[in-house]
Copies of this chain bind each other. A is one copy, B any other.
Amino acid sequence: MAASMYPDYPPALTPEQQEHLVTSLKDWSIAHGLAVRPSPAFATDHTGVLATTAPVTLFPSPFPRRCFEEALAIQTAYNELYSAIARDEPWLKGIVEELVEVDDFIAKLWDIHLAVKKEGYAQDLSLGLFRSDYMIHFDPAAPDSKPEIKQVEFNTIASSFGGLSARVSALHKYLYGGPAHCLPSGINQNSFPPNSSLSSLAAGLAAAATAYGSPKSGSSRLAVLFLVQDVERNVFDQRLLEYELESKHGVCVYRLPFPRILTDTTLDPQTRALLYHPPQASSITVEITAVYFRAGYAPSEYTHPDAWLARHHLERSAAIKCPSVLTHLAGSKKIQQVLATPNSLHISSFLRDHAAAQRVQNTFTNIYPLDDSEAGLKAQELALDPESAKRYVLKPQREGGGNNTYRTAIPPFLRDKVPREKWKGYILMELINPPPLSNSILRNGKIETGGIICELGVFGVCLWRNPTGEDRRGEVLKNSEAGYLLRTKGRESEEGGVAAGFGSMDSVVLVDV
């Protein structure tokens, strides 16, 4: 598609044009908080006061309008789906128990759920700030076929970049949305869709804070707690949400580093209200309405034994968790694989709207377990044949575990590096073939131009009440699409993620193909 439709995209620039665009971008980004703390490799700063433009593309990337609109349109169905999974503890139990052996992280999370379940949950409400990530799939063998969105993963915890992403959309509109832009003709105001990520995610957190109701403890102060990592270069992405919550919704926010949970919070003995004791204001106690996890998602964060105690402590509390442990588990790779295993019927059992279920199903790429099930045996065949392996990526099943293996590297990897009894620790996923595109990326002050791959993330907000007693299904209280993120990386790199230093932020310019 784009190769033929946009052979000259992005446009060639004169040195004066490039200088003007890059200067405009550098200044606008800092003036609008589109920033990160610099990596130590780029700038030495012992005082933590320097900032730099977040890695960003010089141009918005062309994206098929139909695909973009479909991705946004089905987000509420995805919210519904993952909320339903998180509410279906018996179903989750069946999946998780298969994993307990191979994935210690999943096992520990499940243990926390079991412990809190035994004691009784103190909070029925759950908040999900989700992000469903897609790439455009384009079948090179069928050049007349339409491009489609295919899901890469679904995030139920710490879905990041919602703060900065709205800014990137505004940046590209600022640079190119005016009358003097230098993009190909046919691109106009309508080509830059609005991006509500910042305001919508903040509205989601505000809805949770409101739904929490009045204080349960003696404290008269209520606040939302952002659980963060100790060192965070992507701090402005989080801060923008915080400022939006405070200025637009009057919701007070505190930031708590993950290692300080047990130091700075306690539970009210009667109500298990989560009480935060700010180290900077020892005389006050704040009751936490909602805990927003921007940390605690990766196994590597749980090396200290107290980390699991801390997670348990939060789960026990009466604060609304974003996400709860069950919601966190719902986002594991294994769930994605189970949903996307060919001929699975799970989707239609969770989503009663058949049309919506079908549209969600259409975004799946085939994912196979590598176990001894029927689908697993089929997968082993596909993975070991060098010809069919070309269309697949092999991923470790466990969360945060190791690197992916691609295409023809799969058969020798499985045969020579992985004992057969460990194969079930992997899944085989059909590769998505994104159309060839080019763009320029500004990172650490340097411009790099070349072939790129784009990944679209659609944010969703879902607030629900979990099943209690007689109520077997719970209830969805708020469900909305919440803007988008476009992340772009060099085509040769196979790993993504701006924070990891590989990718960059981008926005879409919609094209009709």
Contact = CB atoms under 8 A, between A and B. Distances in A.
Interface of A: 14, 16-17, 19-21, 23, 26-28, 30-33, 35, 38, 43-53, 178, 180, 182, 221, 235-236, 239-240, 243, 252, 278-282, 284, 442, 444-446
Contact of A38 (B21, B50, B53, B446): B50
A31 B17 CA distance: 27
B280 A27 contact: no
Contacts of A28: 239, 243
Contacts of A279: 16, 20
Contacts of A17: 280-281
A341 to B, nearest CB: 43
Contact of A21 (B19, B51, B280): B280
A327 B418 CA distance: 81
A45 B236 contact: no
B14 A243 contact: no
Most chain B beta carbons < 10 A, residue from A26, A49, A252: A49
Contacts of A47: 444-446
Contacts of A446: 47
B48 A51 contact: no
Given A17-B280, A239-B27, A279-B16, A49 B45 contact: no
A46 B446 CA distance: 10
A280 B20 contact: yes
How often does this chain occur in the complex, in copies?
A: 2
Contacts of A16: 279-280, 282
Nearest to A235: B27
A43 B445 CA distance: 14
A26 B48 contact: yes
Contacts of A252: 178
Nearest to A32: B33
Contacts of A221: 180
Nearest to A284: B180
Most buried by B among A31, A239, A280: A31
10 contacts: A14-B280, A19-B280, A20-B278, A30-B35, A31-B33, A31-B239, A35-B51, A43-B45, A50-B50, A180-B221
Contacts of A180: 221, 281, 284
Given A35-B51, A52-B51, A279-B20, A445 B243 contact: no
A50 B16 CA distance: 21
A280 B24 CA distance: 12
Nearest to A170: B247
A254 to B, nearest CB: 10
A445 B280 contact: no
Contact of A50 (B43, B236, B240): B43
Contacts of A51: 30, 35, 50-52
Contact of A49 (B178, B235, B444): B444
Nearest to A30: B51
A45 B32 CA distance: 20
A41 to B, nearest CB: 13
B445 A49 contact: yes
A53 B43 contact: no
A429 B278 CA distance: 51
B243 A31 contact: yes
A47 B21 CA distance: 14
Contact of A26 (B20, B49, B178, B282): B49
A49 B52 contact: yes
A45 B30 CA distance: 15
Nearest to A49: B445
A231 to B, nearest CB: 12
A22 to B, nearest CB: 9
A417 to B, nearest CB: 41
A223 B32 CA distance: 23
Nearest to A220: B179
A51 B252 CA distance: 28
A45 B50 CA distance: 11
Contacts of A19: 280
A49 to B, nearest CB: 4
A222 to B, nearest CB: 12
